[in-house]
Amino acid sequence: MKKLVLFFLCPLWCFSQTSYQDLQLLLEQKNYTKAEALVTPIVTSNPTDVKAIELLGDTYAYQEKWDEAMEQYKKLTSLKPKVANYHYKYGGALGMKALSVNKLSALVYLSDLKEAFLTAAKLDKNHIETRWALVELYMQLPAIVGGSKDTSLKYAEELEQLSKVDGYLAKGYIYEYDDEAILAERYYKKAIEIGGSITCYNKLSEFYENQKQPEKAISNIEEAQEKLQRNGLHYQLGKVSAEYNMQLEKGEACLKNYIKNYSPEDGVPIAWANYRLAQIYRQKNNKTEALKYINLAVKELPEIKVFQEERSAILKL
């Protein structure tokens, strides 16, 4: 941290590539406000430094300051109009801003949003993230403002040419969104066959949960665990067990394994595993154990409303 302060105090001419790496590290550590404070004066004094502008835009985006992020990413598209990723980031910020306002206000951003993503796709034929954005955009837009399943499938086909796994996942998403469950399941399974990653398995598990098919979700999670050995999958199975009141012994064992082997890389805080255990014990009518685990969850994350609701339900046993 002392090193970063020294860079901040140095003249701008000594703001080197190493400084960018330090700022990127701050973002990876989720220290967004400090990164913003360090890079803002650099951008102010060097208004054409595209790397610094991008980093500042990223600090805003991570903090969900969409207006500020849009401003910085827009600068990038003006300074470097042929860089696809800058248009992609600008479109992403526009999209998140549109999601944060009401539907009528969101229409104001629609034209620039589409233009940004389409420009990125045109500039870089291999830009996977842009094509994913276009797949989702054209599926979610109402037809009256340009939404089109056929257009979405067109970009899914482009994705498939770049990455079969992404193409199959995109088609699974499209068919799931369009309530074509058989086709959606087929493409999610094809993605697993080709890729076999945790993302592929999670997409199929989420699909089964959305389809109210918990048995299939649990079976898929178990297959993933056998192949990938990820602690996070213990939580996923326990969650399904708790939510659907099924295979409770298996769910209980998985959640306890998750807690025992927990590391921050697993993603879901331990409080949520304790909450799921409380649900399982409530369904077993074990009030003592249910209260024990829900109290642990509430102690760690007291602001979570569903934890308080679960505690009230347990107290009524």
Q: What are the tens digits of pLDDT across the range 187-207?
A: 999 999 999 999 999 999 999
Cβ–Cβ < 8 Å for 143, 163: no
Answer whether residue 189 is part of any domain. Answer: no
Report how far residue 60's alpha carbon sits from residue 72's, in angstroms, rounded to the nearest whole number.
9
For the CA atoms of 34, 13, 81, 28, what is the dihedral angle to 10 degrees?
-30
Run of H or E residues at 4: helix 2-9
Burial 247-257 (b: 16+ CB within 10 A, else e): bbeebbebbeb
Positions of E strands within the chain: none
Closest CA to 85 of 47, 52, 41, 54: 54
Neighbours of 17 (CB within 10 A): 8
Answer whether residue 279 is part of any domain. Answer: yes
In sequence order, what are the residues at sequence separation of 6 or more whose Cβ sits closer than 8 angstroms to the Cβ of residue 78?
Answer: none
Helices within 80-148 (DSSP H only): 84-99, 103-123, 128-140
Answer whether residue 122 is part of any domain. Answer: no
How many structural domains compose the chain?
Answer: 1
Answer whether residue 181 is part of any domain. Answer: no
In sequence order, what are the residues at sequence separation of 6 or more whose Cβ sits closer than 8 angstroms to the Cβ of residue 200?
Answer: 165, 169, 188, 191, 192
Report how far residue 288's alpha carbon sits from residue 282's, in angstroms, rounded to the nearest whole number.
9
Closest CA to 90 of 65, 113, 109: 113
Per residue in 92-102, pLDDT tens? Answer: 999 899 888 88
Report how far residue 172's alpha carbon sits from residue 187's, in angstroms, rounded to the nearest whole number.
5
Q: What is the mean pLDDT of residues 117-131?
A: 94
Count of residues in the chain = 317
Q: What is the mean pLDDT of residues 149-169?
A: 95
Q: What is the mean pLDDT of residues 140-162?
A: 86
For residue 212, the number of C-alpha atoms closer than 13 Å in the C-beta half-sphere is 0
pLDDT at 3 over 60: no
**pLDDT for the residue numbered 19:** 77
pLDDT at 126 over 60: yes
Answer whether residue 142 is part of any domain. Answer: no
Report how far residue 219's alpha carbon sits from residue 222's, in angstroms, rounded to the nearest whole number.
5
Answer whether residue 268 is part of any domain. Answer: yes
180: left (phi over 0), alpha (psi -120 to 50) or beta: beta
Per residue in 13-70, pLDDT tens? Answer: 344 444 778 888 888 888 888 888 888 888 898 899 999 899 999 999 999 999 999 9
Report how far residue 133's alpha carbon sits from residue 271's, in angstroms, rounded to the nearest whole number.
33
Report how far residue 131's alpha carbon sits from residue 121's, in angstroms, rounded to the nearest whole number.
7
Tokens 């955009």 appear where? 137
Q: What is the mean pLDDT of residues 298-308?
A: 96
Count of helices and strands (H, E) across the chain: 18, 0
Q: Can you give the pTM of this predicted structure?
A: 0.82
- What 3-state class would DSSP assign to 137? helix
Report how far residue 33's alpha carbon sits from residue 63's, in angstroms, rounded to the nearest whole number.
8
Q: Give the dihedral sign, CA 283/285/289/291.
A: positive
**For position 301, which CATH number holds?**
1.25.40
In sequence order, what are the residues at sequence separation of 6 or more whose Cβ sits closer than 8 angstroms to the Cβ of residue 126?
Answer: 162
Tokens of 142: 């109402």
Closest CA to 214 of 263, 251, 184: 251
Range of the domain at 260: 247-317
Report how far residue 202's alpha carbon sits from residue 175's, in angstroms, rounded to the nearest whole number.
17
Answer whether residue 274 is part of any domain. Answer: yes
Answer whether residue 38 is part of any domain. Answer: no
